[in-house]
Structure 1
Amino acid sequence: MQTATVYDRVRELIVSGVYLPGRPVTEQDLSERLEVSRTPVREALRRLESDGLVRGARRGVTVVELDRKALRDAYHVRASLEGLTAELAAVRQRAGELSPAALNRLVACADRADEASKAGDLTEGIRHNRAFHRAIALLAGNPLALDLLDRVWDQIIVSTRAVLTAPEGPGRVDGEHRALIAAITAGRPEAAAESARDHIAATARAVLGPNEGEAP
């Protein structure tokens, strides 16, 4: 197994909630679970520490849980990045660079996210919701923004999984997704950016409380 694959598998164990925030994770435990030597595990943990998902502890590392301010900061960053990727996607649509198939895939992602949320499936709801936003970032054609968003998403999911005991506002979320799709499809960059930022701000308020989604 290559080091990159070990990194991806350890990251997935953390993001999926197998290793919860505050829980220590040792190289020995991971090497036994993944059936690999400790060297690639050690390298994977170093990368995950730079990603902000784990921090060094007395024995191994501990999964990071963002405090309230750090989580608020993460949502602010996510809102800015998703505003940018939505804007860029709309610019590319206006320039005729996006195919109908690409836009149809975006609609399909929104459909699956809505279906999972209405069915009360938290795990699938989170997965498809993330796939929807990631699809927009892919349409933006900016790999750096996509990479940064992946890191922010990971930190938010790990830190909020315990409080999201039920799909949060499925009707509202789906409506905001559809508005975002409409703005991108119409090639309206400013409207797409505003829709994205408003959507993330509403999500932050649902998690952190009223007024918590506003930029500082």
Structure 2
Amino acid sequence: MDGETVYEQLRSQIVAGVYEAGQRLTEVALSASLAVSRTPVREALRRLESDGLVRGSGRGVTVTALSSAALAHAYQVRAAVEALTAELAADRQRAGRIAPAALAELEADEERLEVVTSAGDLAGAAELNRRFHLGVAELAGNPIALDVLDRLWNQITVSTRASLVPAERPDTVAGEHRELLRAIARGDRAAAGRIAGDHARATACAVGATPRGE
């Protein structure tokens, strides 16, 4: 198993909650778990630290949990970048550069999200919600914005997984998702950006991730 594979596997495990926020990890234990030498594990942990998913802790690392202030800042950036990617997606749709199947796939993800939310599957709903929003970002065609959002969503997911509770406004969230997709489908740049930004800010308020003074 090469360094890239080890990195991808560890990142997926951290985001999926196999290793929880605050948990200490060591090269020896991870090497044994993955049946690899310590060298690719060490390289992977350096990259994960750059991603903000772990931080140095003695002779190992600890899975990072964002502070309440850092989480609020993460949501501010998420709102700004998701507004941008929604605008870009609408622009590309208006220019005929988005395949109908791509929008249909997002609509299907939203429908699945509503189903698992209604069933009370918190972990499944969280993953589908992340997938939906990153799917919108993929439509934007801006790889840098997508990479920023992917990193942000990973950090937010790890830091909020332990406090997952049933959605306080599932019908509202579903409605906002559908409204966003409709704005993108008709190529309405202004509406798409406004809906995406407002949606992220409303989510931040719902989870109490707002900067002090707001």
TM-score w.r.t. length of structure 2: 0.96
8 Å Cα contact 1:65/1:159 also seen in 2: yes
Q: Which residue pairs with 1:19 in the alignment?
A: 19
Query: Which ranges of structure 1 fall in alignment gaps of 5 or more residues?
Result: none
Q: 1:186 aligns to what?
A: 186
CA shift, 1:173, in A, is 1.1
The residue matched to 1:193 in structure 2 has which SS? helix
Q: Which runs of 5+ in 2 are unaligned?
A: none
How far residue 23 of structure 1 moved from its aligned partner, in angstroms, is 1.3
| 2:159 partner amino acid | S
Equivalent-residue separation in structure 2 for 1:167 and 1:60 (angstroms): 35
Amino acid at match of 1:120: G
Contact kept, 8 Å, 1:93 with 1:187, in 2: the verdict is yes
How far did 1:214 drift? Answer: 10
Map 1:48-197; keep pairs closer than 5 Å: 48-197=48-197
For residues 60-115 of structure 1, the C-alpha deviation after alignment (integer angstroms, 9 at most, x for no partner) is 10111111110000000111111111000000011111121111111011111111
Distance 1:87 1:19, change over 3 A: same
Alignment root-mean-square deviation, CA: 1.6
- In the alignment, residue 106 of structure 1 is paired with which amino acid? L
Q: Cα offset for 1:20?
A: 1.4
CA distance in 2, matches of 1:99, 1:14: 33
Q: CA deviation at 1:168?
A: 4.4
Q: Give SS of 1:149's match.
A: helix
Residue 46 of structure 1 is matched in structure 2 by 46
| Residues 94 and 186 in structure 1, CA contact (< 8 A), matched pair in contact too | yes
Tell me: CA distance 1:148–1:50, structure 2 relative to 1, closer, same or farther (3 Å). same
Q: CA deviation at 1:37?
A: 1.0
Task: Quote how far apart the aligned CAs of 1:166 are.
Answer: 2.3
Question: What TM-score results when the alignment is normalised by the length of structure 1?
Answer: 0.95
* Deviation sequence 1:3-58 (CA, Å, 0-9, x none): 11110111111111121111111011111111111111100000000011111011
Deviating beyond 4 angstroms after TM superposition, the runs of 4 or more aligned structure 1 residues are 213-216
Q: How many residues align?
A: 214
Secondary structure at the aligned position of 2:20 is classed as coil
The answer for the alignment partner of 1:8 in structure 2 is: 8
- Counterpart contact for 2:69–2:211, Cα < 8 Å: no
Deviation at 1:123, TM superposition (A): 1.3
The answer to whether the 8 A contact 1:125-1:167 is kept is no
Give the % identical residues: 56
Q: Distance in 2 between matches of 1:91 and 1:183?
A: 11
Q: Contact between 1:200 and 1:213, CA under 8 Å: does it hold in 2?
A: no
1:61 aligned counterpart, secondary structure: strand
Instruction: Provide the C-alpha distance between the structure 1 equivalents of 2:88 and 2:201, rounded to a whole number of angstroms.
Output: 19
